[in-house]
Amino acid sequence: MTNGQRSDAIVRGFALSSVFWLLVGLLVGLWLAAEMIFPALNLAPWLAFGRLRVVHTNGLTFGFTLAGIFACSFYMLEKLTRTPLAFPGLAKTQLWLFNIAIALGALSLFAGWTTSKEYAELEWPLDIVVVVLWVMFAVNVMGTLVKRREKQMYVSLWFLVACVVTVAVVYILNNLAIPVSLAKSYSAYAGVNDANVQWWFGHNAVASVFTFPILAMFYYFLPKSTGLPIYSHRLSIIAFWSLVFGYLWTGAHHLMLTPVPEWIQTVALAFSLFLIAPSWASVVNGYYTMNGNWDMMKSNYLTKFFILGITFYGLQTIQGPTQAIRALSGHLHYTEYIPGHVHMGTMGWVTMIITASMYFTTAKVSGREVHSVKLANIHFWLILVGQLLFTVTLWIAGIVQGAMWKAVNPDGSLMYTFLDSVAAMYPYWTVRIFGGLLYFAGISVFAYNLYMTSRPKTQAV
Amino acid sequence: MTPRALAYLFFTLLLAGVFAGIIAYYFSRKRYERVEAPKHRMLADDDPLPDSTGSRREG
């Protein structure tokens, strides 16, 4: 087997793993959404909302997104460096270890093993496995970059390097803990410091996993699928350095109006607003790339995924910083608006870009065209409508919820009880399930289409 | 101003200076061709990798 064939198999393996964990994570999400309306669905401890919620977030962040990142990164890395993977055997081991780790992670969360730190719930034995996996990935990325035949680095490679470095730093520092048993550890930090480090990690997990590598894919696969060069490479490089410069300071915007020192909150707020500029530099770069070729939105099935994806990124990066403004944070934080915001990023931006990139890579490594453009179009419209129904409903729900919590009578007493605000959410939660079902239907179509595209050529019909 | 405050100020100015330097470097007219070159090269047909059979990875 040649190096090329070996890395094709690795790309295909990670792509199919990504789809598998996407389906699992979404099914768990649907069950969670149903539990909001029918609490009786908390049938057993391992099906309780508190346990399932972390299986959902970890399964989709680490299972689906990371596997998609690995698949597309290995593909882009070889193409942009014009060099085979430095250690294909290591990448193959990483593929197997990754799937075992995600399965063990899900089981441990079902069992209730959790650090209770959001997005960092895995207990210390699994943290060690995650670090080992990341070192394996980093060795291949850096090793291939060192051996590269293409001297100048395209912007996607810069974003990939940023992903490798920042995930390592924030994951290790936030997960420093003192183990007391196999299933329990306590954070190395205490009180406000713990919260500050946790959200420094939490927000930079968003940067490192949901932004840098996804932008790398956007900058690579939009030009490759349209044949149009990106509008401005230097603008993309400035956007890269600005994001790297600004992102690491913004974590405390998750802790507005808390005991965290006010100056830290203000620094986070200032840098959050600053980030609008580099984020929109990428949005504008994408739009200008299409200048004069907007008909491709109809004629090229992948273009609309990338353009809608970057549009949701743009909306997300306006919404996020404005939520950091104290007055708005005071109204919206802890309400349904926040999951509405997060899901536009994950269901709109991240999933649109990853699924489109996987259509491209899987077709290439399988040496054929995508199985069905028609199915890809159905997939697109189902996830677009499902996502909009889901997120817009939750934004409205959050605004209503925040207003109910703050409404007071003329004598200063609260106008609504907390239970009133819960009951008021039922219609919105019902609409959310329909949005989720549409989205899941779209992803099921994608899974079938990608599987058919990835089959070995000899089995093709 | 305390030494600590001075250190913070120096660090902030240093970061801002490095950032300004990066922008000046990439937006220099004399480097325009070189900085923009990768966006065209990445579109070129992907060469077969050095030790692959060449039966794959075109386009």
> Which residues of A lie inside 8 Å of B (Cβ-Cβ)?
2-5, 8, 78-80, 82-84, 149-150, 152-155, 220, 223-224, 227, 229-230, 232-234, 237-238, 241-242, 245, 364-365, 367
Long-range contacts of B42-48 (CB under 8 A, 24+ apart): B42/A79, B42/A80, B42/A154, B42/A220, B42/A223, B42/A224, B43/A223, B43/A224, B43/A227, B43/A229, B46/A79, B46/A82, B47/A82, B48/A4
- pLDDT for the residue A278: 96
pLDDT at A368 over 50: yes
- pLDDT for the residue A461: 46
- pLDDT for the residue B51: 55
- pLDDT for the residue A5: 72
Express each pLDDT in A380-430 by its tens digit.
Answer: 999 999 999 999 999 999 999 999 999 999 999 999 999 999 999 999 999
Cα–Cα distance between A168 and A183 in angstroms, integer?
Answer: 23
What are the residue boundaries of the structural domains of chain B, listed by start?
16-43
**How close, in Å, is residue B25 to chain A by CA atoms?**
10
**How close, in Å, is residue B2 to chain A by CA atoms?**
18
Dihedral pair phi/psi, residue A164, rounded to 5°: -60, -45
Q: Is the sign of the CA dihedral A402, A404, A409, A415 positive or negative?
A: negative
Instruction: Please judge whether A84 and B34 are an interchain contact, meaning their C-beta atoms are less than 8 angstroms apart.
Output: no
Cβ-contact A46, A99 below 8 angstroms: no
Instruction: Specify the range with the lowest mean pLDDT, choosing from A246-250, A277-281, A388-392, A405-409.
Output: A246-250
Cβ-contact A301, A258 below 8 angstroms: no
Task: Classify A60 as helix, strand or coil.
Answer: helix
Selected residue of B42, B43, B52 to mutate for chain A interface (largest A Cβ count, 10 A): B42
SS3 content of chain B, % helix, strand, coil (to 5): 65, 0, 35
Q: Find the residue in B nearest to A364 (Cα).
A: B57
Express each pLDDT in A17-75 by its tens digit.
Answer: 999 999 999 999 999 999 999 999 999 999 999 999 999 999 999 999 999 999 999 99
Distant-in-sequence, close-in-space partners of A207: CB < 8 Å, separation ≥ 6 = A166, A243, A247, A248
Please give the distance of CA A402 from its chain centroid, rounded to a whole number. 26
Q: A453, A401, A338: which is closest to A57 by C-alpha? A: A338
Record the tokens describing residue A388, joined without a space: 């909009």
Question: Count of A–B CB contacts within 8 Å?
Answer: 82
Q: B47, B21, B2: which is closest to A82 by C-alpha? A: B47
Indicate the class that CATH gives domain A3-454.
mainly alpha
pTM, 2 dp: 0.94
Instruction: Please judge whether B38 and A155 are an interchain contact, meaning their C-beta atoms are less than 8 angstroms apart.
Output: yes
Instruction: Please judge whether A2 and B22 are an interchain contact, meaning their C-beta atoms are less than 8 angstroms apart.
Output: no
Cβ-contact A138, A87 below 8 angstroms: no
Q: Find the residue in A nearest to B42 (Cα).
A: A80
Cβ-contact A71, A361 below 8 angstroms: yes
Express each pLDDT in A294-316 by its tens digit.
Answer: 999 999 999 999 999 999 999 99
Instruction: Specify the range with the lowest mean pLDDT, choosing from A252-261, A289-298, A451-460, B46-55.
Output: B46-55
Cβ-contact A365, A75 below 8 angstroms: yes
- B17 Cβ under 8 Å from any chain A Cβ: no
| Chain B hits for A230, Cβ within 8 Å | 39
pLDDT at B48 over 90: no
Q: Which residue has the higher pLDDT, B53 or A181?
A: A181
A119: left (phi over 0), alpha (psi -120 to 50) or beta: left
Express each pLDDT in A439-459 by its tens digit.
Answer: 999 999 999 999 999 987 765
pLDDT confidence tier of residue B49, bands split at 50, 70 and 90: low
Instruction: Please judge whether B38 and A78 are an interchain contact, meaning their C-beta atoms are less than 8 angstroms apart.
Output: no
Mean pLDDT (whole number) for A177-195 = 95
Express each pLDDT in A310-357 by its tens digit.
Answer: 999 999 999 999 999 999 999 999 999 999 999 999 999 999 999 999
Instruction: Please judge whether A245 and B15 are an interchain contact, meaning their C-beta atoms are less than 8 angstroms apart.
Output: yes
* Burial per residue of A343-356, b for 16 or more beta-carbon CB atoms within 10 angstroms, e otherwise: bbbbbbbbbbbbbb
* Burial per residue of A260-281, b for 16 or more beta-carbon CB atoms within 10 angstroms, e otherwise: beeebbeebbbbbbbbbebbbb
DSSP A172-211: HHHT-EEEEETTEEEESS-HHHHHHHHHHHHHHHHHHHHT
**How close, in Å, is residue A372 to chain B by CA atoms?**
20
For residue A185, list its beta bridge partners.
A179
Mean pLDDT (whole number) for A142-169 = 96
- pLDDT for the residue A456: 74
Which residue bears the tokens 């399932």?
A: A52
Selected residue of B28, B32, B39 to mutate for chain A interface (largest A Cβ count, 10 A): B39
Q: A313, A262, A305, A257: which is closest to A285 by C-alpha? A: A313
Q: Which of residues 19-58 of B touch A (CB under 8 A)?
A: 19, 22-23, 26-27, 32, 34-43, 46-53, 56-57
DSSP A117-154: -TT--S-HHHHHHHHHHHHHHHHHHHHHHHT-S--SPP
- Mean predicted lDDT score pLDDT of chain A: 95
Q: Find the residue in B nearest to A6 (Cα).
A: B52
SS3 content of chain A, % helix, strand, coil (to 5): 80, 0, 20
pLDDT at A460 over 60: no
> For residue B43, what is the enclosing H or E element?
none
CA separation, residue A17 to residues A89, A126, A305, A357 (Å): 18, 19, 21, 15
- pLDDT for the residue A312: 98
Nearest beta carbon to residue A3 from set B15, B38, B52: B52
Q: How many CB atoms lie within 10 A of CB A114?
A: 18
Record the tokens describing residue B49, joined without a space: 């990798």
- pLDDT for the residue A6: 75
Q: What single-letter DSSP state applies at residue A455? A: S
What are the residue boundaries of the structural domains of chain A, listed by start?
3-454
Cα–Cα distance between B43 and A225 in angstroms, integer?
Answer: 10
